[in-house]
Amino acid sequence: MNAADNTPILVGVSQRTYRDTGNTNRTPTDALHDVLELALKNSGRGEALRGAIDTLCTEPSLLEVSAELGALISRFPGPELAKRLGLKDARCLKAPDGGNGPQMLINHFAKELNQGQRRAVAICGGELTASFKNLLGGGGDISHWPSDAAGETQQPWAERSGTHAEELRHNLWLPTHMYALFENALRHRYGHSLSEHQEHMGKIMQGLSDTAAANPDAWSYQRPRSAKQLVSFEERSPCLALPYNKYLCAQMNIDMAAAVIMTTVGTARELGINEDQWIYLNGCADVNEVWYVAERADLSRSSAVALAGETALARAGCHIDDIALMDIYSCFPSAVEMACEALNIDPFGERPLSITGGLPYFGGPGHGYSLHAVVTLVEQLRERPNDNGLITANGWYMTKESIGIYSAKPSEMHWQRGDDAALQTQIDAQPHQLIDDTPNGNGRVDSFTVVCDNNGPKQGIIIGSLDSGARFIAHTEQDNALFAQLMTEDVIGQRGVVSSGEQHNLFRFK
C-alpha cells in the first residue's frame, strides 16, 4: 500500500551509552548533540534532513530536580543544540516531566506533521547522572556543563504534580514506595504468599535481564542475574520497600542519550531518504489514569493502559497477537504486570516483554528511557519489515500512559491521530474514592508497604478505606514485631482504626 504524502514517519534514530564515566570533556549538551548528529547520519540524507528540521524538542533531565542541581546543568539546551546543528530557524521546545514523554511527543508531532504544521522534528533526551555523581564525589569540575546559547525555549505542555498533598505527607512520593503498593495489591489479588510472589516477579524480570545481557547498548548488559538473585534480599540488594530490592528498581545512575527524527512521507521522498529507513507510527493513544494513586478504586489494575492499548491497536488496524516486538515500560515489576494484564499479553509467553532489557537492567535514563526503546524498535523493524512493534511509555505512578504501534509498512487504514479527549472522559467518569485528610474511625487496608533502610524496616505505610467509603493514608505504629509481621504476611483486607495527626495519620490493627 502506498501511504499518503502527509503520513508521519520516523527516518533517523540513534542512541549512545557512555562507559567512560566521569569524562570531563563531555557535558550533557555534548551528549545530546552527539546523538542528534548520529540520528541525522542514520537517515542516510543527513545534510538534506538537517535543513528541513523546524522543531527541536528536548526531554527534561533528572538533574533538574532542584534549583541547586539545575543551576549546574543546561536547563534549556535547545537553543545551544540548534546553534551547533545549524538549525537557524528551528523552534525549540521542552517536554514535560514523565516517562511517557518520548512516546507522547512522537504521538503529538505525528499529528502536527500530518496536518502540515511542521516539516521535520528532532526529539532528544539524555542523562549523565553517573558522571555527575562521579565528578562531584571526586571533586571534579563541572563548571563548564551549563552552555546555554541565547534563544527561547517554549514549554507548551502544562506541568502537574503527580502526587497528592496527603501522599506527600506520608512519604508516598518516591516511585519505589508507590509501585510497591501496586505490587502488594497484585500479590493479594493473585493469592500469592510472599515467596510465591517473589518467584513470580523473578521469572518476569529475569526475561528482561537476559535481554539486557545480550544488548550492547545496555548499561549493565555484562551482569545477567537469575530470577532468585533478582528478588532476594541480600547485602548487595537489600529491601528498599517491600517487596522491592535494588535489582527490581529502575537503574538511573547511567550515562546515556538518544534521539529520533520524524518527518512525512512526502518530505522524505523530496529529501531523497530511502524507503528502507522509514518506520511508520500506524496507531497511537495517550490516556491518563485517575490522577492521584490514593483515589484509584483498584490499585492492582490500569484502565488507562487498557484503553490506550485497545485504541492504538484499533487505529493501526491490528490485534495484540499481531505484535511481534514490544517494549513494556518496566520501571518496576508491577508496571510490567499491570500493563501485560491490561493488554492481554502473557508475561511468560514466547514474546520478550522488552527489546532493550528494561529500566532496571538496560538502564533508566530519566524521562527519556522510552526514546531508547523507540530507537531500538526502529532498528529492529528495519531488519524485520513484515513485523509490528508496540511501545508503552508510563509517567508518574501508572498515571500518564502513551502507546505507539509501529511498522516498516503503512497501515491499510488512512492515518489519523484520533480524539483522545473522548478516551479521557471515559477514565474521568470512573468511580474513584476521595481522600480524607483528617480520617478518624474504622477502616480496612487496601494496600501497604514497609520502607526499609540499611538497618531494616523503618516505616509502615497504609492506603485504606474508611467504613464511610473515603480513602485514607496512614503510617503504622513503630513496632518491630509489627514490622516483622508486615514483612511476611499479607495484611490487605485486615481491619483497624485510623486517627488523624498533624505530621501523619496513624493506623492501628485490631
> 8-152+252-428 and 441-509: same fold?
no
Cell of 380: 529492529
CA distance 380 to 391: 13
Q: What pTM was computed for the model?
A: 0.97
For residue 73, the model assigns a pLDDT of: 78
CA distance 213 to 362: 8
Q: Let me know: does 312 contact 376? Beta carbons within 8 Å.
A: no
Got the DSSP string for 350-406?
A: SS-S-SS--TTTT---GGGHHHHHHHHHHHHHHH-TT-EEEEEEEETTTTEEEEEEE
Tell me if the domain spanning 8-152+252-428 has CATH number 3.40.30.10: no
CA distance 11 to 40: 9
Distances (CA, A) of 82 to 57, 85, 123, 261: 10, 5, 12, 14
Which residue, among 46, 45, 26, has the nearest Cα to 36 in the 3D structure? 46
Mean pLDDT to the nearest integer, 258-271: 98
The pLDDT > 90 percentage for the chain reads: 89
Got the DSSP string for 216-237?
A: TT-TTTT----HHHHH--BTTB
For residue 221, the model assigns a pLDDT of: 64
The strand ranges marked E within 211-317 are 239-241, 244-245, 255-264, 279-288
Question: What band does 75 get if pLDDT is binned at 50, 70 and 90?
Answer: confident
For residue 220, the model assigns a pLDDT of: 78
Cell of 285: 493513544
Mean pLDDT to the nearest integer, 187-194: 97
Per-residue pLDDT reduced to its tens digit, 482-501: 999 999 999 999 999 999 99
* Residue 406 CA from chain centroid, whole number: 18
Mean pLDDT to the nearest integer, 55-59: 97
Question: Could you give the dihedral angle defined by the CA atoms of residues 392, 188, 244 and 402, in that order, rounded to the nearest 10 degrees?
Answer: 10
Mean pLDDT to the nearest integer, 211-216: 95
Question: What band does 66 get if pLDDT is binned at 50, 70 and 90?
Answer: low
Pairing type for strands 121-128 and 239-241 reads: unpaired
Per-residue pLDDT reduced to its tens digit, 309-348: 999 999 999 999 999 999 999 999 999 999 999 999 999 9
Mean pLDDT to the nearest integer, 436-449: 98
Question: What band does 67 get if pLDDT is binned at 50, 70 and 90?
Answer: low
Mean pLDDT to the nearest integer, 126-132: 94
Which residue, among 326, 359, 328, 356, has the nearest Cα to 341 in the 3D structure? 328
CA distance 25 to 249: 30
Mean pLDDT to the nearest integer, 131-160: 87
Mean confidence (pLDDT) of the chain: 95
CA distance 227 to 232: 9
Question: What band does 69 get if pLDDT is binned at 50, 70 and 90?
Answer: low
Question: Could you give the dihedral angle defined by the CA atoms of residues 184, 185, 191 and 194, in that order, rounded to the nearest 10 degrees?
Answer: 0
Phi and psi (nearest 5°) for 29?
-65, -35
Cell of 374: 523507540
3 state SS of 297: coil
Contacts of 502 (CB under 8 A, 6+ apart): none
The residue extents of the domains of the chain are 8-152+252-428, 441-509
Model confidence at 148: pLDDT above 90: no
Buried b (16+ CB within 10 A) or exposed e, 27-39: bbbbbbbbbbbbb
Q: Between these two residues, 301 and 221, which has the higher pLDDT value?
A: 301
Mean pLDDT to the nearest integer, 62-91: 84
Class of 441-509 in CATH: mainly beta
Cα end-to-end distance, the chain, whole Å? 66
For residue 138, the model assigns a pLDDT of: 80
Mean pLDDT to the nearest integer, 47-58: 98
CA distance 147 to 472: 46
Cell of 163: 502526587
Q: Give the DSSP letter of residue 335.
A: H
Q: Let me know: does 292 contact 397? Beta carbons within 8 Å.
A: no
Per-residue pLDDT reduced to its tens digit, 352-401: 999 999 999 999 999 999 999 999 999 999 999 999 999 999 999 999 99
Q: Let me know: does 268 contact 9? Beta carbons within 8 Å.
A: yes
Model confidence at 235: pLDDT above 90: no
Question: What band does 198 get if pLDDT is binned at 50, 70 and 90?
Answer: very high
CA distance 410 to 9: 9
For residue 65, the model assigns a pLDDT of: 66
Neighbours of 437 (CB within 10 A): 14
For residue 141, the model assigns a pLDDT of: 84
For residue 495, the model assigns a pLDDT of: 98
Mean pLDDT to the nearest integer, 295-301: 97
